[in-house]
Amino acid sequence: MGSIDTSPRAESGSDPIPTPNGTTANGLPAVEGSVHPLAMDSTGDSAENESLRKRTKGSGVLPLEVGTRVMCRWRDGKYHPVKVIERRKLPCGGVNDYEYYVHYTEFNRRLDEWVKLEQLDLNSVETVVDEKVEDKVTSLKMTRHQKRKIDETHVEGHEELDAASLREHEEFTKVKNIATIELGRYEIETWYFSPFPPEYNDCSKLFFCEFCLNFMKRKEQLQRHMRKCDLKHPPGDEIYRSGTLSMFEVDGKKNKVYGQNLCYLAKLFLDHKTLYYDVDLFLFYVLCECDDRGCHMVGYFSKEKHSEESYNLACILTLPPYQRKGYGKFLIAFSYELSKKEGKVGTPERPLSDLGMLSYRGYWTRVLLDILKKHKGNISIKELSDMTAIKAEDILSTLQGLELIQYRKGQHVICADPKVLDRHLKAAGRGGLEVDVCKLIWTPYKEQN
């Protein structure tokens, strides 16, 4: 399933809380020097007319070529640098009437979108560079790791790919095929490409049954389906219920269509290299909010039935309407509670994206420091691992990152000053929703003969 992208913003994609220190209302960096004023000129023309004059002045470069760099007016009303990824002719337009799919070079790929010509400042058009030639020159000057670092279209979560494979992936997935989905009472803007079957290529919006996850092209189809669908929760066993929260375990082998549909849905919000169609090998843990209408999915994580690397989580996602509520942290904690029940240590599937690592580092920090604060006397990394089900390597790297561990006389020694622990705990933030282990009724998976 690939690595975590917990909302490419921390938890399964959750947006950062807006702050005054140079971020926009969407939690994105405020852009210095890229604002093109749209004020009235001396003749009283509107900003719209000013924009029109700019476009007319630069009309000699139309239509823009793929690869062109230009300034584009974003939803915040400001201009930001973009790169043209694709273009398509307008049905009833003239020779130069195109709309353009652009990547905002300062932002994550999830914000790529189709824009109209009037959003572009044609005075800012830069000469198109032959990227193949540029790549050859660049490759001679830097290592593959450095190239990935500076590649503006670099996607977190692909650290295992070489430069050629990464570029092939981005070429295949460069344009979002589905713009929005309807799931339950929410209409959700998607973030990334998902390889739906070819018959859905002409759809910009899909309608999902929130219980069985079947998807349709039209609202009328969904309404007919809902009258027939007798599911009110994910298929599988309910293994946890606390208040209005429920967790269902879904076996990909027993519920293959549901597992595949869940992968299609998740891929719209996770930018992973691979979408597994062989869901037989995975268990899906689907978290739901329950009411009198049924159990409504808020997120999930998956894990391999048998992992030689001790992975206890493959993919994790909190759906956008439910982000910033602590569900991502809950899912991480839940995966470790299952590992404890199995009597094993666990770790998330690698590689982790930068933000995925932040989420896990926060969880590990809170769990380990809580124990160190309460524990009297010496404690070893092995003992911490046994208590938490966190892999020893993850404990060691976390404590080293916090500068709480030293290497003395051939062994690692934990140095836990109470004031230092409090400072680190405060920096780690709140732990989110807690898993009430008394409400977990589950036995580890065993292959049936």
The one catalytic residue among 11, 156, 337, 349: 349
List, in order, residues 6 or more apart from 276 with CB less than 8 Å away.
1, 263, 282
3-class state of residue 230 by DSSP = coil
3-class state of residue 161 by DSSP = coil
Instruction: Confirm whether 210 is a catalytic residue.
Output: no
Alpha helix (H) ranges present in 174-297? 219-228, 256-267
* Residue whose pair of structure tokens reads 């080293």 in the numeric block: 400
CB atoms within 10 A of CB 197: 8
List, in order, residues 6 or more apart from 132 with CB less than 8 Å away.
none
Provide the token pair at 392.
């020893």
CB 240 within 8 A of CB 285: no
CB 435 within 8 A of CB 330: yes
Residue of 249, 229, 211 whose CA lies nearest to 337: 249
List, in order, residues 6 or more apart from 216 with CB less than 8 Å away.
206, 207, 208, 222, 225
CA angle 329, 335, 339 (to 5 degrees): 145
CA distance 271 to 110: 9
Prior bond of 20 cis (ω within 30°): no
User: In this structure, which long-range contacts are made by residues 337-344, counting pairs with CB atoms below 8 Å and at least 24 apart in sequence?
Assistant: 337/389, 337/435, 337/437, 337/440, 338/285, 338/303, 338/312, 338/442, 338/444, 339/312, 339/389, 340/389, 341/440, 341/442, 341/443, 341/444, 342/444, 344/310, 344/312, 344/389
Alpha helix (H) ranges present in 152-294? 163-172, 219-228, 256-267
Prior bond of 63 cis (ω within 30°): yes
- Identity of the amino acid at 435: V
Residues recognised as catalytic: 349
